[in-house]
Amino acid sequence: MELDVHVKVRPDIGAVLGRLGPIWRRELLSAGATAARIEIATHIRRQSRFHHKTVERLNKRTAGFTATATGHLEKGAARITSRTYPDHAVVSVPIAGISRAFRDLKIQAKKAKCLTIPLSSASYGHTVREMQRLGWTVWRVKGRDLLMGRLGNDQAQMLYTLKKQVVVKKDRNLLPSDDSMADAINGAMATAIRAALTKEVS
């Protein structure tokens, strides 16, 4: 999944970029893209500290199991990359669902009939099939959108609620603001221009 995000380039930098050949343009854009990569990674890492509500709620609710956060935001932040072309740059953020920084995210069941929303620390971060592989017996409660499960002779517990679709509300805070991105990118390109000119003079 790719998102097109357009960042306002400062007029003076834009004028320089427009007159440069492709090699120099790519060089300056690489500085801008790296600044964007750093800005996004730092922001997501900071945000990830506030996104453990689900696992904290489930841990309070579930006796006998303590789930740890899947860490999908911090893992994704550690894998952000950029690549630069002569006329544009791409920053890849390998986090499923990151598009909800810009819009509500509607998730629908594709292969399965329903989505499974974890209700327990035991099922958090695991698919139903993985739970079964781990030795759980999982069954649907008749007439209800609920999956129960039991491990061995333990007491049965609610594992998942079933939904046809869920809408995860837009959260613009997942990614840096347009202004902070533009500041980082423009700042880096300006620094790269100054550094190159200084080197040329000396």
Pick the binder of another protein from 18, 60, 201, 202 (CB under 8 A): 202
Note whether 108 binds another protein by CB under 8 A: no
Pick the binder of another protein from 62, 82, 121, 157 (CB under 8 A): 82
Site for another protein, residues 159 to 198, rule: CB under 8 A: 188, 191-192, 195-196
**Which candidate, 49, 9, 47, places its Cα nearest to that of 31?**
9
Which residue number, 70 or 161, has a Cβ lying nearer to another protein? 70
Note whether 88 binds another protein by CB under 8 A: no
What span, in angstroms and rounded, lies between the C-alpha atoms of 94 and 78? 9
**81 alpha-carbon distance from chain centroid:** 13
Site for another protein, residues 141 to 160, rule: CB under 8 A: none
Q: Are 67 and 59 in contact (CB under 8 A)?
A: yes
Name residue 133's amino acid: R
What span, in angstroms and rounded, lies between the C-alpha atoms of 57 and 106? 23
- DSSP secondary-structure letter at 109? -
Pick the binder of another protein from 78, 141, 156, 167 (CB under 8 A): 78
Q: Are 156 and 139 in contact (CB under 8 A)?
A: no
Pick the binder of another protein from 8, 61, 129, 164 (CB under 8 A): 129
What is the largest distance, in Å, between two alpha-carbon atoms of the chain?
80
Positions that interact with another protein (CB under 8 A): 1, 26-28, 30-31, 33-35, 37-38, 41, 45, 68-72, 74-84, 90, 92-96, 98, 125-127, 129-130, 133-135, 188, 191-192, 195-196, 199, 202
